Amino acid sequence: MLPQEIIRRKRDGHRLSASEIAAFIEGITAGTLSEGQIGAFAMAVFLKGMSREEAVALTIAMRDSGDVLDWSDLPGPVTDKHSTGGVGDNVSLMLAPIVAACGAYVPMISGRGLGHTGGTLDKMDAIPGYTSQPDVARFRKTVLETGCAIIGQTADLAPADRRLYAIRDVTGTVESVPLITASILSKKLAAGLGSLVLDVKVGNGAFMEKSRDAVALANSLVEVANGAGLKASALVTGMNEPLASAAGNAVEVRNAVDFLTGRVRDRRLEDVTLALAAEMLQSAGIVSSNQDGIRRAAETLAGGRAAAVFGRMVTALGGP
């Protein structure tokens, strides 16, 4: 089917088949579709929505547009977290090393800023010398040796998402729940995770300002992830004010280092970080309860083990 026919069908409110969605995503990956066609498709989805089955098919097609990592050789569970984005949200910088220091492996593939929110990858790029887009071999080596790595999408992982992600940002389709869902989950499925915890932000600093919208996104993410074969859970956390007492890439990295080393810890940031760490540890099977997860994460943080993991990760990826 011609791409314009697929766009027209979605524009008119019809459900797309998995084969139609796969064909459109193949066109994005191959570079045979124009930015206008991709933008028109994104707007049609934004206006007409997608069924859960369509969202699963879109996510899987975007995952399969590139390679899928295999971590079966690692001697521990593989897990990750994703935030839908906010202001002063540098949780990932502390969370990945905390969870890694507790015995899990965290191959975190992050994104850049979208709309008004800051991206984890932009923060990591503020570290002099840090390689945020290493090749897969270096990424795997870093995860194996340090327990975690925070990087951006490589050319081989979910390449269709990278192009669609950029077009959403300039076509007024950022807030589309199916597109957000597929964008997030295609990267996470390509990362070969065993489990995923989602931090869905709500408030005037988030994409979802109303609780009902945030809950709808959380439900979509969990249901589509499960439908695509990935164990997932979600927390909805507030974003009416910055989490960290800093907003800006370099200063948020400094704030994260201060947090990990115990120099300064913002209370709200600590509460959210420990809650997410506990959820990740429980979903990975390292602890049996949320309370045990919070205790384990807090002990790891207080003992300096998480700070040590962060330092080794940064060094392994070219930082100071």
Catalytic residue among 29, 84, 120, 173: 120
- Let me know if 183 is a catalytic residue: yes
Q: Please confirm, yes or no, whether 110 is among the known catalytic residues.
A: no
Q: Is 116 a catalytic residue?
A: no
Catalytic-labelled residue, pool 112, 168, 296, 305: 168
Two structure tokens written together for 26: 């193949």
Annotated catalytic residue within 10, 59, 79, 80 = 80
Query: Out of 146, 183, 220, 283, which one is annotated catalytic?
Result: 183
Instruction: Measure the CA–CA gap between 6 and 20, rounded to whole angstroms.
Output: 7
Radius of gyration of the chain (CA): 19
Contacts of 8 (CB under 8 A, 6+ apart): none
Among 63, 140, 162, 187, which one carries the catalytic annotation? 187
CA distance 261 to 224: 37
Angstrom distance (rounded) from CA 177 to CA 190: 20
CA distances from 142 to 8, 106, 253, 284 (A): 45, 10, 20, 20
Is there a catalytic annotation at residue 48? no
Retrieve residue 212's tokens: 């009902």
Is residue 14 among the annotated active site residues? Answer: no
Q: Is 176 among the residues known to form the active site? A: no
Catalytic residue among 81, 162, 296, 305: 81
**Is 83 labeled as catalytic in the residue annotation?**
yes
Which residue among 188, 201, 296, 305 is the active-site one? 188
Whether 254 is catalytic: no
Dist. CA 54–CA 60, nearest whole Å: 10
Catalytic status, residue 188: yes
User: Which residues form the catalytic set?
Assistant: 80-83, 120, 168, 183, 187-188
